[in-house]
Structure 1
Amino acid sequence: MAERTLDKTAEAAKAEQTAQAAPAPSREPTVVADDVHIVYRVNGGPKGRGSATAALSRIMRRKGSPGMREVHAVRGVTFVAYKGESIGLIGSNGSGKSTLLKAVAGLLPTERGSVYTDGQPSLLGVNAALMNDLTGERNVILGGLAMGMSREQVRERYQDIVDFSGINEKGDFITLPMRTYSSGMAARLRFSIAAAKDHDVLMIDEALATGDRKFQKRSEARIRELRQEAGTVFLVSHNNKSIRDTCDRVLWLEKGELLMDGPTDEVIKAYEKETGK
């Protein structure tokens, strides 16, 4: 009996050693930001004024203006995002959150450092342009095509997009021009169009801040689906509850610098303690 017990103990110890030696499951990175710096340059005359002709002349001569200012919007930000993560970006106004997302989306060049992405990033913001003179219906079709969906895919998902947005809950608004929509209706339609497609990397800039609680819950549920079906979701929001409900990781930026990167509750508690929000 003692020998059997010793054998079992030895087997258990060996199994434990094997488990410890086994490599941890690898995670698939989707976005790598390596020491990213982004600088805006604002040109103007000595008194802050300047014509387009003068600005073009300075560009052609490769010379700066005496009134040129540099705004260092993002300062040495480094992080790695992985497939299946939902990452919130928090910070005060002007902290560089939206600028960082634009760089990840390839819309802004980096001054120094690099951004690497696996797949095609898609940036959704409440200011994303839809065509006001076209109907909501036409905007759904054009928006879907612009995201790379086929006409058949747009047709298949059209009704789901309309239903998700809630545009027609109080009338047949989808057949009316976008200029007749409230800002909240337009924002809901933008989100619905973007959320209809499975994205490698989806970035949402304040999209959940618009609309009633019913729509916000639908949006949060759809983001969770996107995390399971596709790659990575980034969310910029000043609504800490939306971040808590949606994200499992948070990046906190202030004055362009990454102050904290970690689990949602841990980072938001530190942020609220520091800012009193």
Structure 2
Amino acid sequence: MADEKNHANETRDEHGVRIPTVIAEDVHIVYRVHGGTASKGSATAALSRILKRGESPGVRRVHAVRGVSFTAYRGEAIGLIGTNGSGKSTLLRAIAGLLPTESGRVYTDGQPSLLGVNAALMSDLTGERNVILGGLAMGMSREEIRERYQDIVDFSGINEKGDFITLPMRTYSSGMAARLRFSIAAAKNHDVLMIDEALATGDRRFQIRSEARIRELRKEAGTVFLVSHSAKSIRDTCNRVLWLEKGELLMDGPTDEVLKAYEKEAGK
């Protein structure tokens, strides 16, 4: 019964086989942090290091993701949990193609879309203009944007306390900006949608709307990844959880099973 519940929303092909959307194979991601001595020396010496593929003694290597492997399937909503600095957001950025892997491979079916609360917005433009630009950036036509525009604004709740959608984004609180960003991204069906902490913003009413929309995206054959520190959001939204610590995948399984192990380890 548990397995049936976990796979209830997954899309299968004509042979009844689950359809993979993301495959990570032994993924390692390394950041290189340049210290104060990294810029010293002549331009010739710097060029020599580049040609030799060497690194300055002032460069510190941070191994953020260590040998992570998993396969995600259509119709899944997958939560990523772990303490701060465990590699969750880094892994999503690699899946989105924004970070190169040091070794290992990431394969995706379709175009992954990363939605993060720190994603850039054009603060001098109005919310209205950002809705249009955001929709175009996701590949929506102008006609599609016009058709969905009011739904996006209503979903975000931006105008509940005034006509904020016509004001520059710099006048918004961080929560308002995050809600509008989520609303824009959720207006389109995605092959792979990755959400980094967006549900932590806003009141409970908006969180409920967001969780319901994620369930709809799952039914429409997409795959959703959700990074959140809220166990309730993970439980209400996801059927599977990846638990990362210090860049390593400690556990991958059904939501309740993984969350119970994580909460036991954290003493909650």
Query: So what's the TM-score if we normalise by structure 1?
Result: 0.87
- Is the 1:35–1:78 contact (alpha carbons within 8 Å) kept by the matching residues of 2? yes
In structure 2, the partner of 1:138 is 129
* Cα distance, 1:121–1:56 mapped onto 2, change above 3 Å: farther
Provide, for residues 191-213 of structure 1, a one-character-per-residue CA deviation record: whole Å limited to 9, x for no partner: 00000000000000000000000
How high is the sequence identity, in percent, across the aligned residues? Answer: 84
Q: Looking at secondary structure, tell me which structure has more helix per residue.
A: 1
Distance, in Å, in 2 between the alignment partners of 1:182 and 1:45 is 36
Match of 1:21 in 2: none
- Alpha-carbon shift at residue 25 of structure 1 (Å): 2.8
Q: What are the within-5 Å matches in structure 2 for residues 1-277 of structure 1?
A: 25-46=16-37, 50=39, 57=47, 58-59=49-50, 62-277=53-268
For residue 125 of structure 2, give the secondary structure of its aligned residue in structure 1: coil
Q: How many residues were matched structurally?
A: 252
State the shift of 1:45 in Å.
3.6
**What is the Cα deviation at residue 62 of structure 1?**
3.6
* Whole-angstrom CA distance in 1 between matches of 2:20 and 2:55: 39
Structure 1 residues 144-203: Cα deviation after superposition (integer angstroms, max 9, x where no partner): 000000011011100000000000000000000000000000000000000000000000
Deviation at 1:56, TM superposition (A): 6.4
CA distance in 1, matches of 2:251, 2:25: 16
* Amino acid across the alignment from 2:260: K
Partner-residue secondary structure (3-state), 2:121: coil
| Alpha-carbon separation, structure 2, partners of 1:120 and 1:36 | 19
Question: Which is higher, the Rg of structure 1 or of structure 2?
Answer: 1
1:92 partner amino acid: T
The structural deviation recorded for 1:231 is: 1.3
Tell me the amino acid that sits aligned with residue 234 of structure 1: F
3-state secondary structure, aligned to 1:204: strand
User: Which segments of 5 or more consecutive residues in structure 2 lack a partner in the other structure?
Assistant: 1-14
C-alpha distance in structure 2 between counterparts of 1:44 and 1:274, whole Å:
35
Check conservation: 1:45, 1:66, Cα contact below 8 A. Answer: no
Q: TM-score, normalised by structure 2?
A: 0.90
Q: Quick one: distance in 1 between partners of 2:215 and 2:108?
A: 21
Query: Are the structure 2 counterparts of residues 60 and 139 from structure 1 closer, same or farther at C-alpha, using a change threshold of 3 Å?
Result: farther
Tell me the secondary structure at the aligned position of residue 192 of structure 1: helix
Gaps of 5+ in 1: 1-23
- Aligned mates of 2:198, 2:237 — CA distance in 1: 12
